[in-house]
Structure 1
Amino acid sequence: MVAHKTLIAEVPNQFGIAIRVFSDGTIERPFNSPIVPPTPHDPQTQVSSKDVVISHDRLVSLRLYLPKLDHHNEKVPIFLYFHGGAFYFESAFSRVYHTFCQTFASQAKAIIVSVEYRLAPEHPLPACYDDCWEALKWVASHAAENATHTEPWLVQNGDFSRVFIGGNSAGANIAHNVAVRAGSEELPNGVEIHGAIIIHPFFHSSDLVGAETLKGEENISYLIWNFVYPSAPGGVDNPLFNPVGPALDAIACSKILVCVAGKDRLRERGIWYHEALEKSGWEGKLELFEESDEGHDYELLNPRTENARKLIQRLVAFVQE
């Protein structure tokens, strides 16, 4: 007798239903971009990539990107990238993120460390935050003079005085929280975060901000947070999701770039976050970049447009400054 599987949960994003959970444990993620392998040497971008497992217990892995260098021991910035997907879909190994990271590595001339963190609901939050913190610690461990079990690209070519973090949407949320954590926990070998890039950040709170009109269960962000972190103390006002508070003062990096898009439903939260940083006790350099005629994650969904190229150029300048 064949057991019937029952749909027990489905959660939308702004494009439609992004995940379905069934009673037999089956999970469908209709919006996932196809998974693609790393490229030892991409002829178009001249970027090499490979996958590395850093924790078998937590199943945390990375895709590393090395740009074409002028000489063997050239030192270049290191950028840890955290992918988006509302904490419950997408992958560092998906085509859309692989393409983005190849382009960014090539233009910024930086080593990209794209983190494959654990997803909800199989691994509810805060698992993803712990995974991304461990990835940053793993990178920092390579700054030791006599480091063992090292990744040669980082040892030979990584400039540990120029370590950046960043991400889009949920990945931007993760980047913010990693920067907050760095304010209270030291990284190995004295490594510090130089800068953070916050693209179309996925934040929320119980209060409306800006032009928002939907509260509680009417708001997609509210539904998603309660799905990915059902036991969160404080609900949507948990500091991991509502960043406006004393923790802003302790963010540990020298500069932050916040990127928003005029047609993105998350725009108001990005502006809210930027304004809160301006008013906080954080003393770093703060910048805002807005593209008024674009929507959420346009640089990923339409990477060949002029506006996507403009955003990439701004990110490149931020890393190279």
Structure 2
Amino acid sequence: MASATPKEIARELPPLLRVYTDGTVERLLGSPIVPPSLEDPETLVSSKDVVISENPSVLARLFLPKLKNNHQKEKLPILVYFHGGAFCLESAFSFLHHRYLNIVASEANALVVSVEYRLAPEHPLPGAYEDSWEALKWVTSPDSDPWLVNHGDFSRFYIGGDTSGANIAHNVLLRVGDEEGLGGVRIAGAVLAFPLFWGSEPVLSEAVEGHEESSAMQVWKFVYPDAPRGIDNPLINPLSSGAPSLANLASRRMLVFVAEKDDLRERGVWYCDAVKESGWQGDIQLVRVQGEEHCFQIYHPHTHNSKAVIRSIASFLV
């Protein structure tokens, strides 16, 4: 019996994924999809999946902590969360983010909405940004979901994300500031964990040698190959020429995390400095975590440093 002809690779983004000439996509990294749970045994948080839009397909997983004394009128802060994964991996339904947001929802006693946006390369950018904007409008609409209507405190409304999801959160803040399209709901604060920003020129102490071949550069070229101005598109480089003013960020509080061993560390510091110098009227807090890699709190949420990050987020969502 003749062996099958090996599929031919059309393009790839090592070590993340491959695209074959027949159009199939093979993701080499990422955690498995897991179902929602009525009551997580570790955190007692309940979760469920909802449809935000069918065309395009935008979904979300909602996390509701156990109500105190079964108090059905208890109101909780809301965190709309955009997962990371370089715009092409992971999911609101994947094990890593499901486990992490169960813990965050429990620790913060907050109602979390984890957005399932479409991924590249099947859906290149800017699709994820549009999906995330539609999700935010849905959450703030009066006919969203009974959990949000009955238990969401929209005076304590937050957004956040990790890595590419933190990038999405930043761009959502700018869009809200420009469009005022959330039905009067104001964003109380934003949590950006190890945000994905980059540009054609190194900043602060970033290495000059190898800058063009950096992983951030390769990711952006792969997920948004037709991006106007490439890596200096304002979506990835918030200080590029013609980018919207950071003074328009639609929040008065921000919490930004950077990690010592993360290649994106200097960009996070640079971003915080730029926000402070922009004329933005708010408070931005930079948390530097020593000895840790990129997004360590997602992979290992029970370590000392991860617990400290989660406690910081919980304290922020007041």
TM-score between the two structures when normalised by the length of structure 1 = 0.94
Q: Hey, what's the Cα distance between the residues in 1 that align with 2:174 and 2:182?
A: 16
Q: Hey, what's the Cα distance between the residues in 2 that align with 1:9 and 1:272?
A: 32
Alignment match of 1:30 (pick from 28, 42, 49) = 28
Alignment match of 1:159 (pick from 135, 150, 153) = 153
Q: Hey, what's the Cα distance between the residues in 2 that align with 1:44 and 1:187?
A: 37
> What is the number of residues matched between the two proteins?
310
Q: Hey, what's the Cα distance between the residues in 2 that align with 1:126 and 1:246?
A: 16
Asked whether the equivalents of residues 174 and 244 of structure 2 are also in contact (C-alpha less than 8 Å), the reply is no
Give 1:118's aligned amino acid.
R
Give 1:220 shift: 1.4
What is the RMSD of the two structures over their aligned residues, measured on CA atoms? 1.3
CA offsets 1:59-86 (integer angstroms, 9 cap, x no match):
1100000001121111111100100010
Q: How does 1:20-99 map to 2 (within 5 A)?
A: 20-70=18-68, 71-99=71-99
Report the counterpart of residue 10 of structure 1 in structure 2.
Answer: 12
Match of 1:315, SS state, is helix
Q: Hey, what's the Cα distance between the residues in 2 that align with 1:97 and 1:246?
A: 30
Give 1:222 shift: 1.1
Report the counterpart of residue 293 of structure 1 in structure 2.
Answer: 291
Report the counterpart of residue 135 of structure 1 in structure 2.
Answer: 135
Give 1:129 shift: 0.4
Report the counterpart of residue 119 of structure 2 in structure 1.
Answer: 119
Give 1:292 shift: 1.3
Match of 2:314, SS state, is helix
Alignment match of 1:227 (pick from 217, 222, 225) = 222
Give 1:5 shift: 2.2
Asked whether the equivalents of residues 207 and 215 of structure 1 are also in contact (C-alpha less than 8 Å), the reply is no
Asked whether the equivalents of residues 206 and 236 of structure 1 are also in contact (C-alpha less than 8 Å), the reply is yes
Q: Hey, what's the Cα distance between the residues in 2 that align with 1:232 and 1:128?
A: 13
1:173 matched to 2:180: no
Match of 1:99, SS state, is helix
Match of 2:317, SS state, is helix
Alignment match of 1:183 (pick from 169, 174, 177) = 177
Q: Hey, what's the Cα distance between the residues in 2 that align with 1:25 and 1:246?
A: 36
Runs of 4+ aligned residues of structure 1 deviating over 4 Å after TM superposition are: 1-4
Alignment match of 1:198 (pick from 189, 192, 198) = 192
CA offsets 1:185-236 (integer angstroms, 9 cap, x no match):
1234301111000100110011101222245542111111111111111111
Match of 1:193, SS state, is coil
Q: Hey, what's the Cα distance between the residues in 2 that align with 1:100 and 1:42?
A: 12
Identity %: 52
Q: Hey, what's the Cα distance between the residues in 1 that align with 2:183 and 2:222?
A: 37
Asked whether the equivalents of residues 49 and 62 of structure 2 are also in contact (C-alpha less than 8 Å), the reply is yes
Asked whether the equivalents of residues 202 and 211 of structure 2 are also in contact (C-alpha less than 8 Å), the reply is no
Give 1:317 shift: 0.5
Q: Hey, what's the Cα distance between the residues in 1 that align with 2:117 and 2:174?
A: 18
Give 2:173's aligned amino acid.
A
Match of 2:113, SS state, is strand
Q: How does 1:233-312 map to 2 (within 5 A)?
A: 233-244=228-239, 245-312=243-310
CA offsets 1:105-137 (integer angstroms, 9 cap, x no match):
001011000000001111110000010111110
Give 1:302's aligned amino acid.
H
Report the counterpart of residue 314 of structure 1 in structure 2.
Answer: 312
Report the counterpart of residue 107 of structure 2 in structure 1.
Answer: 107
Q: Hey, what's the Cα distance between the residues in 1 that align with 2:159 and 2:22?
A: 37
CA offsets 1:257-288 (integer angstroms, 9 cap, x no match):
11000111110111111111111111111101
Unpaired segments ≥5 residues, structure 2: none
Q: Hey, what's the Cα distance between the residues in 2 that align with 1:162 and 1:132?
A: 19
Give 2:304's aligned amino acid.
E
Give 1:43 shift: 2.4
Q: Hey, what's the Cα distance between the residues in 1 that align with 2:49 and 2:275?
A: 35
Q: In terms of mean alpha carbon deviation, does 76-85 or 179-188 score higher?
A: 179-188
Match of 2:221, SS state, is helix
Q: Hey, what's the Cα distance between the residues in 2 that align with 1:30 and 1:230?
A: 20
Q: Hey, what's the Cα distance between the residues in 2 that align with 1:274 and 1:191?
A: 25
Asked whether the equivalents of residues 140 and 187 of structure 1 are also in contact (C-alpha less than 8 Å), the reply is no
Unpaired segments ≥5 residues, structure 1: none
Give 1:246 shift: 4.1
Give 2:13's aligned amino acid.
V
